[in-house]
A = this chain, B = another copy of it.
Amino acid sequence: MRVIVDAFGGDNAPLEIIRGASLAVAEYGIKVILTGKRDEILQTAEKNGVNLDGMTIINAPGVISMEDEPRSILREHKESSMAEGLRSLAAGEGDAFVSAGSTGALIVGATFYVKRIKGISRAALAPLMPGINGPFMLIDSGANVDVRPEMLLQFAHMGSLYMSNVMGDGRPVKVGLVNVGTEDTKGGDLQHQAFMLLKESGLNFVGNIEARDIPFNVADVVVTDGFTGNVILKLTEGVASALMKNIKDIFMTNAITKAAALMVKPYLGDLKKKMDATEYGGAPLLGISKPVIKAHGNSNANAIKHAIRVAADFAQKGVIEKISAAVKPEESLSD
């Protein structure tokens, strides 16, 4: 497997990106193609002792930042490392693409340069999130603020095929629709219509799910519009972070609590790791005709390593071919 990696995407580029790429080459034997300023990559690697064996570089003079308008990837930033990586993916120079750069630019760029799967009306960003019994997928987490019921059905199919094949053993996974109650008739028009479509979809649809039950793995694929999904993604992070701060404060209260902290420290580390979504390797951008993975903007080398591994898995398991086959002509949507 050959994974193209945007060496200039994210807060810690390029050093942590090339470090992560180097780890992925060494640990998984994946071939990595870096995109970005060749000279700076070589200098950074040399200065920091990063081994670039097993990697090639496609030179790209520009960088698109988080502050840049997403659509600028098609215009003033079309020479950026991200744009170059996407075009290389489209041209078949690699099997998958990873970037920790601007989410908006990645969605626009992937849609324009790599194209959507035929019949899929919207690409969806689908991060894996920590549940009490393991990861679940949230689809969509913010790429599509306004959606139609048929799009939620497509999100469900795509998420289900990904989770079943990349994260599972091929068996069907549970699909749930985020709603304000579990009864069939809850929610607004979007939920009513999506519910009916999902019920008749042939998927393992567990029905409407309440947000309270999401962290308890009530579904493996949590289907929702991008506005609600974005709130779910960020609130999970916020609540966990606020609670961990409270607990840290408790442990710092006095000598006794500080001693208690030392006694549970290794286990709290495990919990932190369990809660840390970077272990799951970033979010697939589902609906694009080739595997694209969005790594977290603040990814370190370890997160990039995992993202590259997941990108290779995504390509190897043939998920996109399975999505193509699942989108029957009569289900396809026009834009």
B243 in contact with A240 (CB, 8 Å): yes
B188 in contact with A215 (CB, 8 Å): no
Give the docked Cα–Cα distance between A132 and B238 (Å).
11
Task: Tell which of A86-94, A224-232, A280-288, A289-297 binds the partner.
Answer: A224-232
Give the docked Cα–Cα distance between A146 and B233 (Å).
22
The bracket for how many chain A residues form the interface is 35 or more
Interface of A is mostly: helix
A237 at the interface (CB under 8 A from B): yes
Given the known inter-chain contacts A178-B231, A215-B239, please indicate yes or no for A263 contacting B257, CB distance below 8 A.
yes
- Within the complex, the shortest CB–CB distance from A271 to chain B, in Å, comes to 5
- Within the complex, the shortest CB–CB distance from A109 to chain B, in Å, comes to 19
Give the docked Cα–Cα distance between A68 and B211 (Å).
23
Contacting B at CB under 8 A, from A178-217, are 178, 180, 187-188, 210-216
A264 in contact with B271 (CB, 8 Å): no
Contacting B at CB under 8 A, from A216-251, are 216, 226-228, 230-247, 250-251
A264 in contact with B235 (CB, 8 Å): no
Give the docked Cα–Cα distance between A333 and B287 (Å).
42
A264 in contact with B239 (CB, 8 Å): no
- Within the complex, the shortest CB–CB distance from A254 to chain B, in Å, comes to 9
Q: Which of B227, B236, B238, B244 contacts A187 (CB 8 A)?
A: B227
A227 in contact with B132 (CB, 8 Å): no
Q: C-beta contact mask, A244-271 vs B, less than 8 Å → 1, else 0?
A: 1111001101001101110110011001
A231 in contact with B232 (CB, 8 Å): yes
A214 in contact with B240 (CB, 8 Å): no
Chain B residues with CB under 8 Å of A268's CB are 250
A26 at the interface (CB under 8 A from B): no
Q: Which of B187, B234, B244 contacts A210 (CB 8 A)?
A: B234
Give the docked Cα–Cα distance between A239 and B131 (Å).
9
Give the docked Cα–Cα distance between A253 and B228 (Å).
36
A211 in contact with B227 (CB, 8 Å): no
The 10 closest A-B pairs by CB, nearest first: A211-B235, A215-B242, A260-B263, A260-B260, A212-B234, A211-B234, A212-B238, A239-B239, A180-B230, A250-B267
